[in-house]
Amino acid sequence: MQDNKRPQENERTVRDALHSRAFKNGAYASVLCAVMLALVVALNLFVGALPAKYLRYDMTENKLYSLSQETEDLCAALTQDVTFYYLGRTGQEDAAVTELLDKYKDASSHIQVVQKDPVLYPTFGAAYDAADAAVGSIIAVCGERYRVVDAGDLYTYTPNYQTYTYDTEFDGEGALTSALSYVASEEAPLLYTLSGHGEAGLSATLTDGAERQNMSFETLALLTADAVPEDAAAVVLNAPTKDISAEEAERLRTYLAGGGSLFLVTNYGDYSTEAMPNLTALLAEYGMGARDGIVIENDQNRFLSGYPYYLLPNIKSHDVTQPLVDSGSYVLAPLAHAITVLDEMPENVSVDALLATSASAYSKTDAYNAESIAQADGDPTGTFNVAAAAQNSETGGKVVWLSTSGLLDETMDQMVSGSNSDLVLNAFSWLTGSESGITIHAKSLTTETLTVPSGAGSLWSGLLMFAIPGAMLVLGVVIWAMRRKR
């Protein structure tokens, strides 16, 4: 009887254990862990399938890992398929480049990215005139159009004379967006630079920037030509030291009347109504004239410290200047003369100021012969325009006039972080009617070291290594003790 009783007691013990609160809590916890594990796996699979743009947030000051609004707009407007071929070695890809390419792919369903290892595909680049392209180069292809972005164009290196090292900047977005704009558009504006009047050449910064916007330049001797070429998107007259002839003025007049565009730069000392009557007459047909004298600013917030004739003019709202207005940029205009708006405006012509001084500025008459730049009794005071844009609404003719070549000077441009060249390139885009006028600056890769004082270091070390872990340990013991009492 005792042997039969023992199995019954064991069975009862097992049954009681299965119905106990401890077993139920344990089973509930096990099921909950299994469900949570399944949810975590499903969530990881879901997140892994999301595009990269939803998984990362760029907190860098210069938005190093983000596309600019201009690039996103260009990608969104694509109607043709574009492929970026990345000539990178497998396992040796540049992380910054591949991440940037992924962002382009995420920005438009029309963009594809294909890696072509030059070891596995040694002749691939030959089809795009890139047989000798460096490893890491990128080829943008859209239909029959293509452009090769050399690996060396993705980075720029600028000497830092304070540290005696080179500052590295990543220019991948600027290079790729330029290539994307080129292959996806038939638009390629051609600008003619006039010669024969002592003109200054355009800086490398401007020509390179214009080429990034898919513009090109050719020299034009208008005196020996019958007319401005029909393919001219705009004519550039940069800081002439001599007047244009009556015949050249007539050819420019005809060109503008047919919807052409003129980009003009003049300098005080070279240009005046008396010295250049033919150019003055042409400008008068677009409602603009000039005042003799160098503009000097009295508002200390509107000139470079110590140099009241190095103007930091107010940037007026216009299609040419709006990007600079939106970014809160400065432009630097040294030794500028005033551009006036005629009282009797020609029919269908409107003139808009692009850059203007404060109301306390004055124009120093005969400045180069004056003993002092201080304002004299005869020097007019007021707001002076130093850059203006005119347009004939009937013919479509456009003129942009800058009253100092300092706006095109590379040294002046560097002092305002490239805003001067942005202004000029924006003017080119407006004059040519180009929709692809995009200026994207390289982004610095220079890292700033976070310096933590010794006292602060000790405080944070104590908190992270002892205080917070200790608090968590105490909290765990308290929770354990409370559960033991139940």
The position carrying tokens 């203006």 is 388
Q: What is the mean pLDDT of residues 437-443?
A: 63
Highest mean pLDDT among 42-56, 216-230, 440-454: 216-230
Helix axes 172-183, 69-76, angle to 10 degrees: 30
The domain defined by 60-188 carries CATH number 2.30.30.110: no
Q: Which of 469, 467, 470, 471 has its CA nearest to residue 459?
A: 467
Highest mean pLDDT among 46-55, 204-213, 445-454: 204-213
pLDDT band at 467 (very low <50, low <70, confident <90, very high): confident
- Read off the pLDDT of residues 330-370 as tens digits, 9 standing for 90 and up: 999 999 999 999 999 999 999 999 999 999 999 998 888 88
- Read off the pLDDT of residues 13-52 as tens digits, 9 standing for 90 and up: 656 655 666 666 667 777 878 888 888 888 888 777 766 6
DSSP run (H or E) holding 352: strand 349-356
- Rounded CA separation 29/17 (Å): 16
Tokens of 231: 């393919």
Asked whether the beta carbons of 78 and 184 are under 8 A apart, the reply is: yes
- Rounded CA separation 368/366 (Å): 6
The position carrying tokens 């700033």 is 448
- Rounded CA separation 128/143 (Å): 12
Domain layout of the chain by residue ranges:
2-48, 60-188, 190-432, 451-486
**Mean pLDDT for the chain?**
88
Tokens of 94: 């540049």
Decide whether 60-188 matches 190-432 in CATH topology.
no
Q: Which of 285, 404, 296, 416 has its CA nearest to residue 354?
A: 404
pLDDT of residue 46: 79
The position carrying tokens 């200054």 is 200
**CATH of the structural domain 190-432, one choice from 2.40.50, 3.40.50, 1.10.1060, 3.40.1350:** 3.40.50
- Rounded CA separation 112/139 (Å): 12
Strands (DSSP E) found in 224-287 = 232-238, 261-265
pLDDT band at 5 (very low <50, low <70, confident <90, very high): low
pLDDT of residue 449: 45
The position carrying tokens 């990128």 is 138
Q: Which is more confident, 44 or 234?
A: 234
Tokens of 430: 């407006």
Within 10 A of 245 (CB to CB), how many other CB atoms are there?
A: 14
